[in-house]
A and B are shown apart, each in its own frame.
Chain A
């Protein structure tokens, strides 16, 4: 296990952790909290999609399960927020296991897999919008109860450190995957599933492991969302918006890299704010700008923001001397 591989994570987290001590603006803190929330969901997507090569269009299925589980356990069963949070993550991971167990053995890959995950998310959304347990159309409102015991914080900083802790966990897990044999198998499956099978890797088991981890991270993001906003309904929990954002961040930031989702989330959110700043309050114009810049970024940095870094490093690496012919 390469210890030094964790240094960048520690450094980044340490730097991020100091921010609430210096910056007191709740605008900035809220911005960072939502950015880290996106990072967490994106990191989940990244494990399955970036490292595993299995693009999912339905990560909302895991996010929403986490959010609803947390809310339902607190509201209907009076469970304390902390175990409810953990249970939410477990529930999300469970949904991941089920979806994986159903789809991977059938050999669904590529776009077919992506769209089937979308279908699962939609099924959950529709059920959630009519089932009494999820509050049907009305949704669920978690009681306002400020205090660490209820995982609700008076100051934004409390939420900030919570999501940062979760993101740290996700970063560490991702790095561990990268360094492990499991990670090597995962990448092998991504690059060439049949060749990997020929080498003795069991693609179904590997992908199943990946989707469970991926789902757990996305579910954690969902649990956090429920605690932060205190309101969950079917289109918030299982709507396409989170599925899209969860894949946008890692692809922009660099799929298959540890920091890709974080960089991507920062970029996306900053772009959104910058676009609003530039275009004033004319409806729609800021999003036109946002879309245009998105396309430009993809055009100029096809391997994502992290890819730019890789290109620089390659360029700066000492040239090997040519062998004499």
Chain B
């Protein structure tokens, strides 16, 4: 746990906004200029849904960001600017919760905000931040709408689902062709909110173009209590490939139910943004159900020494190395680099620095950053497969650690 005394706790941060409110109430200057960074420190807001339905993801995201902050501060802070004072905010898993936090962070004089996690939260919070020309770095939220509103302040480090769907499909075609095209029929099982629906729509458009036949597309709510009927349909249709796109809990239930009902697609379970498919937690707790599952998802660069160091650190703390951790870690370092190049905590300068950023000190397999309309062009997902209780990277070949086992062996 980061050292409490060094952290700018919520208590102090809210006190300062109360002071700010009083000062503003007395009719003087606008708030942010009163509460500029105290000499030698720069304030950054870290917004995550740490309570409510998304609590686990929020906590993991916060973990990644906190480790990055501690490392930067331990090395003396941001060069020429000062140490980071992190302001931690809880979006409470709702857009208006996130909004309220952005207001407070802005009022407390942060120079930028990182986080949001869920697409609908990010949409609201980045928009609110735009009112104050406050730089906002989206950590995960994959909806493409996030970066297509023309907001100058919003940057997304990771890929959106347009890119993810395209890459997933291209990789599937490649894997399939290499194995002699054993698969033709597909079934899609997706959660029915923003990310699942959006992804399913794209897949339905693009799969037939690549010669696949979509037998059925099955949406389901989050949460879903029982997958037996879904699995019945899978067994009846007997597709070559099943493509799940959902959150962790539902993915686990689906996988377990498939194992129980002995429903095995002939070629593969090929997840796209599968909630648990590339999760160390899932593999550890359900080794049998996880066997041979493929995923096209966010993944760190396994060749990167910093990534491996971070992995050891996180696992040493007894936590799982999940995508929220390394995406937030990287996004924080990206921001730090921009602040360093801007040589100040001025918001406009940071936005400029981000827009022209060519940051390569992150731990994702993206190459140096390049933002167009706020989207990092190099951001791509990677393909993984669970082989022998390990999560192996199978594509891109540049850093693959194993060859795909495809089609998966008969049980």
Contact = CB atoms under 8 A, between A and B. Distances in A.
Asked if chains A and B are in direct contact (CB within 8 A), the reply is: yes
Interface of A: 22-28, 30-31, 34, 126, 129-130, 136-139, 141, 144, 154, 229-231, 233-236, 241, 273, 276-278, 280-281, 283-284, 286-287
Interface string B350-379: 000000000000000000000000000000
B231 to A, nearest CB: 21
A214 to B, nearest CB: 23
Contacts of B107: 25-27
Given A136-B197, A233-B194, A276-B10, A283 B50 contact: yes
A137 B192 contact: yes
Contacts of B120: 139, 231, 233, 236
A142 B132 CA distance: 20
Nearest to B13: A281
B302 to A, nearest CB: 31
Given A23-B25, A138-B194, 9 more contacts: A129-B221, A136-B197, A138-B143, A231-B95, A276-B10, A276-B90, A281-B50, A283-B58, A284-B55
B247 to A, nearest CB: 13
B66 to A, nearest CB: 11
Given A26-B103, A229-B99, A281 B124 contact: no
B13 to A, nearest CB: 9
Contacts of B196: 137
Given A138-B197, A229-B124, A280-B10, A25 B20 contact: yes
Contacts of B51: 283-284, 286-287
A322 B15 CA distance: 55
Given A129-B193, A230-B127, A241-B94, A28 B149 contact: no
Nearest to B46: A281
B194 A129 contact: no
Contacts of A284: 51, 55
A36 to B, nearest CB: 13
Interface in B15-46: 15, 17, 20-21, 24-25, 27, 30-31
A169 B244 CA distance: 49
A277 B194 contact: no
Interface of B: 9-11, 14-15, 17, 20-21, 24-25, 27, 30-31, 50-51, 55, 58-59, 88-90, 94-96, 99-100, 103-104, 106-107, 120, 123-124, 127, 131-132, 143, 145, 149-151, 191-194, 196-198, 219, 221
Contacts of A234: 193
Nearest to B55: A283
Contacts of A283: 50-51, 55, 58-59, 90
B144 to A, nearest CB: 10
Contacts of B89: 281
A136 B27 CA distance: 46
B21 A28 contact: yes
A281 B86 CA distance: 12
Contacts of B194: 137-139, 233
Given A138-B198, A144-B149, A27 B9 contact: no
Contacts of A141: 123, 145, 149
Contacts of A139: 120, 194
A23 B27 CA distance: 7
B100 A30 contact: yes
11 contacts: A23-B21, A25-B24, A27-B104, A27-B106, A27-B107, A28-B21, A144-B149, A230-B127, A233-B194, A241-B94, A280-B10
B100 A24 contact: no
B328 to A, nearest CB: 16
A25 B25 contact: yes
Contacts, number: 118
Contacts of B30: 24
Nearest to B26: A22
Nearest to A137: B197
Contacts of A24: 24-25, 27, 30-31
Contact of A27 (B17, B27, B124, B193): B17
Contacts of A230: 123-124, 127
A27 B192 CA distance: 34
A34 B96 contact: yes
A23 B219 contact: no
Given A22-B27, A34-B96, A276-B14, A27 B197 contact: no
Nearest to A143: B149
A231 B124 contact: yes
Contacts of B88: 281
Closest 6 CB pairs of A and B: A137-B197, A283-B50, A25-B21, A281-B10, A24-B24, A137-B193
A130 B192 contact: yes
B190 to A, nearest CB: 9
A130 B100 contact: no
Contact of A144 (B127, B143, B197): B127
B11 A277 contact: yes
A122 to B, nearest CB: 11
Contacts of A241: 94
Contacts of A278: 11
Contacts of B143: 138
Contacts of B21: 23, 25, 27-28
Contacts of A23: 21, 24-25
A281 B9 contact: yes
Nearest to A37: B96
B27 A130 contact: no
A229 B96 contact: yes
A30 B55 contact: no
B50 to A, nearest CB: 4
B104 A136 contact: no
Contacts of B132: 26
Which of B10, B15, B30 has the most CB atoms of chain A within a 10 A radius of its CB? B10
A230 B58 CA distance: 23
B10 A34 contact: no
B106 A26 contact: yes
Contacts of A233: 120, 193-194
Which of A141, A144, A154, A286 has the most CB atoms of chain B within a 10 A radius of its CB? A141
A67 to B, nearest CB: 12
B123 A231 contact: yes
Contacts of B145: 141
Contacts of B198: 137-138
